[in-house]
Structures are given as C-alpha cells and as structure tokens.
Amino acid sequence: MTIDLMERIAAALERMAPAPLDAPDFDAATAFVWHTDPDRLEPVETVSRVDLELLVGIDRSRDTLHANTRQFAAGLPANNALLWGARGMGKSSLVKAIHADVHASHDRLRIVELQREDLPSVGRLLSLLRGAPQRFILFCDDLSFGHDDAHYKSLKAVLDGGIEGRPDNVVLYATSNRRHLMPRDMIENERGSAINPSEAVEEKVSLSDRFGLWLGFHPCDQDQYLSMIRGYCDAHGVQISDDDLRAEAIEWQATRGARSGRVAWQYFVDLAGRKGVTLG
C-alpha cells in the first residue's frame, strides 16, 4: 500500500469521524435535556414544575434534598441521591422544584435531564460538563433495570467516575419506584439459580448503595391528599368549599383506585377547567 493511498484513507476516515462536540452556552438556560444521535444538550426555556411549598407530605425528604442541593450549589461536598418509592408522590416534582428554589440564590446551578436509554452515552456528557464553571444536577427520572439490562454499568461512570472520578461540578439525582433499581423477583431468581447466590446480584444491588442519600416516598393518607388539592386551589385562585372539595376529591380518588400527589393534581386540573381557571 502506497503512502499516498494510506493518506487518502486516513483523510476519508477523518471526514467520517464526528467532530468533537462544542460545549454549549450554559448561560442560555437553567435546564437542559441530553439527546444523542447526534449528541447535543438542548436548552429548556420553560421547565414543567410546581412550587416547592405545594409539595405536601414529604417534608423530611424535601428538607434533606434541599440541604444537599444548597451545599452542592455552594461548591461544598454533596451526595448523589436516590428518590424511591410510591408512584405519583412527587419524586421528580421535588427534584425540579428544589432546583428552581436553590437556583434563585445560586445562579450557577443547572439541571440536565438524562434518559435511562441514553446512559451508555453518559461519559460523553460528563466530558462536556467537566470543568465548566456551572454546577450541574444530572437528573435521571424513573430509573430501573430489568433482566439482561447492562445499562447499569454506564451509571457507575456517574456514581464512581472511573479513573477520572466524577466531576466535582456534577451530582446525580435519580428517581425510581424500586429501592434497589431492579425487580424483587429478578433478585430472588438470580439468587436461587446462582452457584454463589450472594455474588449473583451483588453488582446490581450494590448500585443503589452508591447513592449517598436514599429518600423514601410512601403513599399519602386522605388528609394529606386533601391538603395537596387545597394548596393547589389557593395557589391558583380556584374557589370551592371544603365540603364540596372533600366530596368530589374522595369520589375522584375512588374512580382512580389510588390516592397520591399525581391523582390530587389530576383532580385539581379537572376542577380548574370546570371553574374556568387557566393554569399559567
């Protein structure tokens, strides 16, 4: 093979290779979504969230995560956090609300949403965030792993950081319905069929142990459910008597077969629509 031919092949390969991704303007927004194919950080102009004071019944988790986020935003040591538990009880809403609240006093704080299916690309994302003057909450919502799912290995790049270590300006907040990020039947099946049961699932189960904060979310009781709705009504100026609200809200939860913060919001949206109140 001649030198000329080798040079032409090298030039062709260079043209085919994607150019290094330029760091985005992190001052363009306070929130971003990570996309792949091609890799890019998309700024989010308006984040869908509720005010922190409207999240009822999760005071301990709220205070713990808020303190951790303030530390992180101030450049102090902070833990990765796993918010786990009942569906619809405000796990993702809490992360977004705390980001907004802390950002008001620490304007370098950003939030970047990472989809579970994009975890294999997290190393490239961290390369973009590393060294930037801003502080980043890397937010992965509804995180869980099933059978033959190797995505959890990519997550270790955030939690452990490999040789380089996790960037000092990045912290991971993840939500999950599962405490150990994997189904209970999967844990039992692998333990029961393994030669060494204790090692069979240790790698996956220990993934949740790498989160410094475990914040549990449990189903709300009826008083908390009604307090959530009353809080939404007061915040948005929706007028309804306590007796009517109680009767309607309890009927609404009965038709859904569940009681949670999400169900409370869904009832409130219906109520606001019937009352002719727009939600800004």
AA identity, residue 120: P
Q: What is the pLDDT of residues 89-112, one digit of tens each?
A: 999 999 999 999 999 999 999 999
Q: What is the DSSP letter of 137?
A: E
Q: What pLDDT does residue 210 have? A: 83
Q: Is the pLDDT of residue 157 over 50?
A: yes
The span from the CA of 96 to the CA of 90, in Å, is 10
One-letter amino acid identity for 39? D
pLDDT band at 161 (very low <50, low <70, confident <90, very high): low
Write out pLDDT tens, residues 17-26: 445 556 678 9
Q: Is the pTM value of this prediction over 0.95?
A: no
Distance CA 22, CA 20 (A): 6
Phi-psi region of 122 (alpha: psi -120 to 50; beta: other; left: phi over 0): alpha
Name the residue with tokens 């909450």: 137
Contacts of 64 (CB under 8 A, 6+ apart): 213, 215
Instruction: With residue 33 as reference, give the H or E element that holds it.
Output: strand 31-35
140: helix, strand or coil: strand
Provide φ and ψ at 173, rounded to 5°: -115, 120
Considering the segment(s) 31-217 as one domain, its CATH architecture is 3-Layer(aba) Sandwich (3.40)
pLDDT digits (tens, 9 = 90+) for 48-85: 898 999 998 899 999 999 999 999 999 999 999 999 99
> CA–CA separation, 82 vs 212, rounded Å?
8
Q: For 184-208, what is the mean pLDDT? A: 55
Tokens 């099933």 belong to which residue? 146
